Amino acid sequence: MHRALCALAAAATMLVAACATTGADPANSDPTAPGPAQSLRVEVLATMPHDEQLFTQGLEIADRVLYEGTGGVGESVLRATELRPGPRPGRTLSQAELPEPLFGEGITVAGDRVWQLTWKSGIAIERERDTLAERRRMRYDGEGWGLCHDGSRLVHSDGSDRLTFRDPATFAPTGSVRVRRDGQPVTELNELECVGGAVWANVWQTDRIVRIDPGSGTVTGVVDAAGLLEPSQRADAGVLNGIAAVPGTDQFLVTGKNWPSLFRVRFVPAG
């Protein structure tokens, strides 16, 4: 899992270059194709440093900037960090703290705004993308877990088997879908990533990431992401949580709560 520093620098350079382009469809040319869920595994391309103090709740890349939201009452932050080559993390561009009693959850970039969920407060915070300054707060029913933007609408998970679609300007609900795999509900859908016509979701307290057709709610792929951390790293690390598509590629960054590393990966067919 560990590579020489020169390999890390070259891999990170490829990542920053990839973020300058757009348009690839990760992992499958037709993510909404019917049939049994495709079994996928993680192919690790590079290992990059990650701040172990971050209790990661949301992760997203936009214009060579990594946005990361974290949780904890009195400890939740939203941070924007530059993506840069080399084994050292990029500098922090901006950061916003959430006051008590708010507990930060999923985040997503929508145009010149960043939306940030809270867990049980029923508050979504809209922020200026450049500065992360708070712009306004909107109320919603239920819990906030994951959030992503598919280009025209927000997709919100609440820990159940339901994905709720929301207007990116008003945060008002516009519809919903129930998530099913082989006819059975899939619950505890956590951090989300919208890309290539699919919604990717971490399944809470597991090493699985599922690919969902947002039109039908069908799970079309299941990623086994176990084994990313070395055994010696597991004791101080939390669960897998954090998935960000690398624009213009078939690659993702994945991490977890209080993990020491970000992994640049592809999701490839298992076996």
Q: What is the identity of the amino acid at 92?
A: T
Q: Of all helices (H) and strands (E), which one includes residue 44? A: strand 38-49
Can you read off the two tokens belonging to residue 161? 């088997």
Q: Sheet holding 77-82: strands in order across?
A: 56-62, 65-70, 77-82, 92-97
- Go through the domains of the chain in sequence order and give each one's CATH number: 5-264 (2.40.128.630)
Can you read off the two tokens belonging to residue 115? 């939306």
Backbone dihedral angles phi then psi of residue 34, each to the nearest 5 degrees: -75, 165
- Per-residue pLDDT at 23: 42
Q: Of all helices (H) and strands (E), which one includes residue 15? A: helix 5-18
Residues 241, 169, 63, 222: is their CA dihedral positive or negative? positive
Can you read off the two tokens belonging to residue 255? 């991490």
CA distance 223 to 95: 31
Q: Sheet holding 113-118: strands in order across?
A: 104-110, 113-118, 123-128, 134-139
Where b means 16+ CB within 10 Å and e means fewer, 147-163 reads bbbbeebbbbbbbbbbb
Q: Of all helices (H) and strands (E), which one includes residue 124? A: strand 123-128
- Per-residue pLDDT at 1: 40
CA distance 50 to 256: 9
Report the helix count and the strand count for the chain, using DSSP H and E. 2, 22
DSSP 3-state assignment of 17?
helix
- Per-residue pLDDT at 191: 97
Q: What is the DSSP string of 63-102?
A: TTEEEEEE-STTT-EEEEEE--SSSSPPPEEEEEEPPTT-
Q: What is the identity of the amino acid at 12?
A: A
Tens-digit pLDDT profile for the chain (271 aa)?
433 333 434 444 444 444 443 444 445 444 444 568 999 999 999 999 999 999 999 999 999 999 999 999 999 999 999 987 566 778 999 999 999 999 999 999 999 999 999 999 999 999 999 999 999 999 999 999 999 999 999 999 999 999 999 999 999 999 999 999 999 999 999 999 999 999 999 999 999 999 999 999 999 999 999 999 999 898 889 999 999 999 999 999 999 999 999 999 999 999 7
- Per-residue pLDDT at 271: 79
Cis peptide before 101 (omega within 30 of 0): yes
